[in-house]
Amino acid sequence: MPGERMMDAAQTPDFDTYPVAETVRTATTDGRILTLEWSDGLTSRYHAIWLRMNTCDPETFNLDTREITRSPLDLPSEVRIEKVSVRSDGAVGLVFQPEGHAALFDPGWLRLHDYSNGGRQDDAAVEKVHWTTAECPEPPTFDGSDILNDDSTFTAFLTAVASHGLARLRNAPADPDFAERFAGRIGVIRDNNFGRIWNVRVEPGSGSNAYTALELAPHVDLATREYQPGLQVLHCVENTTRGGRAMMIDGFRVAEDLRAEAPEAFRLLTTVPWHMSNRAADSDYRWNSPAIVLDQAGQIAEIRSIYFLRGPLNAPFDLVEDLYAADRLLHEKLLDPRYRMLFDYLPGDLMLFDNRRILHGREAFDAAEGRRWLRGCYLEREELESALRMAARRRRAAE
């Protein structure tokens, strides 16, 4: 029977490696559940159907792509484990019935995906630090002079963005193409109607206050889009002006404090959508969203606050006044120096920040005195997460 062909070594359904810290001491089954006892005393349990769905062999997976080749309907509805063994190399061998299908499981993979004890933690997950300026008076800063070749500084920089929502490179090249080269090292740049790479400098008639010397109130970019960019790069090529300090605010910390101090205002800001609309002559992007977006677990997931691109509010009649009052509380906090980080851009500075968490803006500057030229682009959060997972994968492979 073809299913009884045993492979030489256990494969995993991905391209990762799973160093084995603990070994399987005993492996038993009642047919429906596989129970493993590990060398550190932990007991893990796996359903036969789960194991069969994750069997990694040429009959179930394309081992070149590691994509599943059999639909759930191709497998029996009632799966049983008939035999279980632990091989000398530590792999767990199973025979599934009614197919008589033999399969091997990598013990490190089984241990990491042990859903009976809480499941796999995302190895790119970084503990979030929601800051005020007392805890974080300036951006976490890293030397950018050799950042394109310096893997450990690159990873530390990305980790800071994941935890604090922002990080700064200092002494990076001030070349106009550096923003693109650096962003490309992280992942795929997100194109948009302002251009794949855009310039922030005084450009009369360009259709946005960003391209003047005016103050820019704290905001997130492209909140008028269904999917607001997750990351923003701003790179300073030139700055000989006075004023124009950058401001950055941890919107997650502001929202968290608002939740504690004014729960009813927080409830309105997380449930009643605003209408946001861009004002371009040649495009018409619109989106409706609460100013603070929660995920399914009720955690703060996204800030969508940009008052200068709001369209008319279209809310339930009885909520309108209370929503404006709640919005006032939010904007009072955005003015508060407790939350407002201020800093100057030097040529060669590059900021990477979470555009769905960090509000950014600037003070006005004097355009008659010199030139201020920033170059920027967008990426998605998933590019940062993928880059961090790849760094973790390289670390594990080297263990």
For binding to Fe ion (CB under 5 A), which residues are involved?
Answer: 221
DSSP string for 221-241? TTTTSSS--SEEEEEEEEE--
User: How far apart are CB 210 and Fe ion at their closest, in Å?
Assistant: 6
Please state, in angstroms and rounded to a whole number, the distance separating the CA atoms of residues 108 and 22: 8
Q: Which is nearer to Fe ion, 241 or 305 (CB)?
A: 305
How far apart CA 390 and CA 41 sit, in angstroms, is 31
Residue closer to Fe ion, measured from CB, 310 or 389: 310
Q: Cβ of residue 220: shortest distance to Fe ion, in angstroms?
A: 8
Sort strands 33-38 and 43-47 into parallel, antiparallel or unpaired.
Answer: antiparallel
Question: Is the peptide bond preceding residue 273 cis, with omega within 30 degrees of 0?
Answer: no
Is the Cβ of residue 162 or residue 234 nearer to Fe ion in the bound state?
A: 234
Nearer to Fe ion, 113 or 381 (CB): 381
Beta carbon nearer to Fe ion, 308 or 324: 308
By beta-carbon proximity to Fe ion, the closer residue of 210 and 265 is: 210
State in angstroms the smallest separation of the CB of 360 from Fe ion.
6
CA distances, 268 to each of 263, 290, 294, 301, 330 (Å): 9, 8, 12, 16, 11
Rounded least distance, CB 204 to Fe ion, Å: 19
Provide CB contacts within 8 A for 205, sequence distance 6+.
Answer: none
Nearest residue to Fe ion, using CB? 221
CA 291 to chain centre: 19
Rounded to a whole number of angstroms, the minimum distance from the CB of residue 30 to Fe ion is: 59
Interatomic CA distance for residues 231 and 267, integer angstroms: 26
| Of residues 221 and 327, the one with the C-beta less far from Fe ion | 221
Closest approach, Cβ 376 to Fe ion, in A, equals: 8
- Our CB check for Fe ion shows the closer of 99 and 221 to be 221
Q: How far from each other are the two terminal CA atoms of the chain, in whole angstroms?
A: 38
Smallest separation (angstroms) from Fe ion to the CB of 214: 13
CB-based contacts of 336, cutoff 8 Å, min separation 6: none
In angstroms, give the least distance from the CB of 147 to Fe ion.
23
Structure tokens at 317: 């009649």
168: tokens are 């700064």
Cβ of 47: how many Cβ atoms within 10 Å? 15
Q: Which is nearer to Fe ion, 270 or 305 (CB)?
A: 305
With beta carbons less than 8 A apart as the criterion, state whether 218 and 361 touch.
yes
CB of 231 to Fe ion, least distance (A): 13
Amino acid at 28: T
Report how far Cα 10 is from the mean position of its chain's Cα atoms.
Answer: 31
Q: For residue 13, give every residue at least 6 positions away whose Cβ sits within 8 Å of its Cβ, in sequence order, or none.
A: 54, 56, 61, 66, 68
* Phi, psi of 180, deg, nearest 5: -65, -45
The answer to whether the beta carbons of residues 375 and 198 sit under 8 Å apart is: yes
Residue 105 vs 339, nearer CB to Fe ion? 339
- 3-state class of 366 per DSSP? coil
How far apart CA 110 and CA 37 sit, in angstroms, is 12
- Closest approach, Cβ 386 to Fe ion, in A, equals 24
